A and B are shown apart, each in its own frame.
Chain A
Amino acid sequence: MQPPTNKPTREAQSSAGPAKNARIPSGTRDVLPEERAELRRIEAALLGVFGGANYGEVSTPTVEYQETLQRAGAAATPVSYRVLGEPGEELALRSDMTVPIARVAASRYRGAELPLRFCYVAPAYRAVTPNRGQPREFLQAGVELIGADPAAGSAEVLTVLCRSLEAAGLSRFLIGIGDAALYPSLLSSCGVDQTASEALLRELGDRDFVGIDREIEALALSTEQAAMLSRVPRMRGADALGDQLDGALNGSLGPIRDVVDALEPDVAERMIPDLGRFPRMGYYSGVVFEVYDPEIGQPLASGGFYGDLLGRFGLPVGGVGFAIDLDLLHAALAGEERGETGR
């Protein structure tokens, strides 16, 4: 591709004077040729791997019926932008691509042979805290594997995730892998009632360890149960799946172990088992994962297994997928390229 020839001025105020009436909403931005060319190279690398693994690229409408997007349930990422359509029409901007793809799979592929494989590069929209530099509109690239076995499907998707990030040039990333059902099942095995469970899971979602211990202390549990419930949220790293675990906990690690065991060694090496991972929002009901790179302070991709979402659209099968935040991936690549930051 030819380098862009029209260089933008560095300063907002050029010799022609300051721009007028050129505001755009905070959390949005224009992507100019230099950046767009870099993003295009990343997208091409990711899509190359997705396509090579037989994931077919789809596009869906930017606006959908609000009712469709909300069918994912109250726990899903809320729809933040409502759009005025024709009188009586309540439209909204999607907050991710997983829900639209669930709709497509359940409507256009009814009765088709499973599993189905889709991929996308598309913007999604979320509410932001004002003036925090958070994007309202952000570009995601991801895949959805629909109607697959939870363990084998998660292993396949994790492999595609690793291979695509490697193809984009990222080298130092690791993937935290947890199970959204793990802690709730431990709570019910300890006989914790629903109200107390919800309070505890809220603290776990925030990873407020002080709050977790406070909630556990308030429960009438045996010393062993309390110690186990307090320890599990802190368990992460290669040792977390070790053999020295006691009975109830050991049994509940099956789903994470099954996925890790199904991975090729070089992919398995990137996994950090994280037993305290509990997604605060979303439709994930099984294995969940997040990508970390030492160059940036927040996860750059996330995903997991969802058991109920497709059923809400009339296709009662599970699915597994991930979404990579392209701007964060771009920032991580730029950071790795600069080499050791010297910090």
Chain B
Amino acid sequence: MNRFGLTIAVPRGALLGGSLDALDRADIDTAEIRSNDRKLLFADVGVVTMRPSDVPTYVEAGAADIGITGKDVLMENPERQIFELADLGFGGCQMVVASEDGPDKAADALARLGVIRIATKYPRIAADYFEQSGRQAEFVTVNGSVELAPLTGLADAIVDLTATGTTLRENGLVVREQIAPVTARLVANRVAHRLKADAIEEFASLISARAEPASA
């Protein structure tokens, strides 16, 4: 266990590096986590690693006291009863609407058919966004490689997360609308937030302290 007495849920994948750098700022030894990408539980330093989308699940249940995950995950799971403590600044991305380069097929579909077909890994975010802008959309939930959907005619456009836009460009897609900026967030369990208040405040201030500003 770390000196804070906190079990920390750390996301594997794109946010892992930034998360471990943040833990370093709190003097938590991340050497073993960096060197071992198969092990999941690092009891000596109070860290559990998992998919980013599982972090709210573990934190809500109290299996982890505190965790790091993307704002995209939090936006997609608004019913999770967890506290969002801080914007950690790293992992900057945009949630966007993208479609094939050239004449916008999505706009064309909306104009002529009155409805757009959207492929996404984020059905909740996509539905909220199109509902708020008063447009009728049909959603196809896919689990990966969303860029394929407009190229094969499965959908007119996609809602997805993009950091640099490289994957979109390589698949001939362009960003049509920005939905929201997304960064890594620090989240806490409701009970731990009260019972381990001092430890959480100290940990939060250490790991947010020198976090780089959000990049859009």
Binding site for B on A (CB under 8 A): 129, 174, 176, 206-211, 234, 236-237, 272, 274, 292-294, 296-299, 343
Contact = CB atoms under 8 A, between A and B. Distances in A.
Contacts of A236: 193-194, 197
A297 B191 contact: yes
B86 A292 contact: no
Contact of A272 (B61, B84, B87, B197): B197
A191 B85 CA distance: 26
Given A297-B63, A343-B7, A292 B194 contact: yes
B83 A296 contact: no
B189 A297 contact: yes
B156 interface: no
Nearest to B198: A237
B86 A296 contact: no
B194 A298 contact: no
Contact of A234 (B62, B84, B201): B201
21 contacts: A129-B79, A174-B194, A206-B84, A207-B83, A207-B190, A209-B83, A209-B85, A210-B84, A210-B85, A210-B86, A210-B87, A210-B185, A211-B84, A236-B194, A272-B194, A292-B191, A294-B191, A297-B61, A298-B60, A298-B62, A343-B7
B195 interface: yes
Interface in B142-161: none
A273 to B, nearest CB: 10
Nearest to B78: A206
B171 interface: no
A207 B86 CA distance: 11
B173 to A, nearest CB: 30
B195 A294 contact: yes
> Chain A contact residues: over half helix, strand or loop, or mixed?
mixed
| List of 7 A-B pairs having minimum Cβ-Cβ separation, nearest first | A297-B62, A207-B83, A208-B84, A292-B191, A237-B197, A210-B87, A297-B61
Interface string B165-203: 000000000000000000001000111111101100100
Nearest to A203: B84
Contacts of A210: 84-87, 185
Nearest to A343: B7
A274 B194 contact: yes
Nearest to B185: A210
B62 A296 contact: yes
B63 to A, nearest CB: 7
Contacts of A174: 194-195
Given A236-B193, A292-B194, A296-B62, 8 more contacts: A207-B193, A209-B85, A210-B87, A272-B195, A294-B195, A297-B189, A298-B62, A299-B190
Interface residues of B, number: 23
Contacts of B189: 297
Nearest to B61: A297
Nearest to A342: B43
Nearest to B87: A210
Interface string B59-83: 0111100000000000000010101
Nearest to A293: B191
A209 B60 CA distance: 16
Contacts of A208: 83-84
Contacts of A211: 84
Contacts of A343: 7
Nearest to B79: A129
Nearest to A208: B84
Contacts of B60: 297-298
Contacts of B197: 236-237, 272
Contacts of A297: 60-63, 189-192
A234 B201 CA distance: 9
A340 to B, nearest CB: 12
A210 B86 CA distance: 6
Nearest to B201: A234
Contacts of B7: 343
A209 B84 contact: yes
A176 B192 CA distance: 12
Contacts of A129: 79
Interface in B77-108: 79, 81, 83-87
B70 to A, nearest CB: 13
Contacts of A206: 83-84
A296 B83 CA distance: 16
A241 B81 CA distance: 26
A176 B79 contact: no
A298 B191 contact: yes
Nearest to A134: B79
Nearest to B7: A343
B30 to A, nearest CB: 20
Contacts of B191: 292-294, 296-299
Nearest to B1: A343
A234 B202 CA distance: 12
Contacts of B86: 209-210
A172 to B, nearest CB: 9
Indicate the member of A129, A210, A298 with the most B CB atoms within 10 Å: A210
A292 B195 CA distance: 8
A210 B183 CA distance: 11
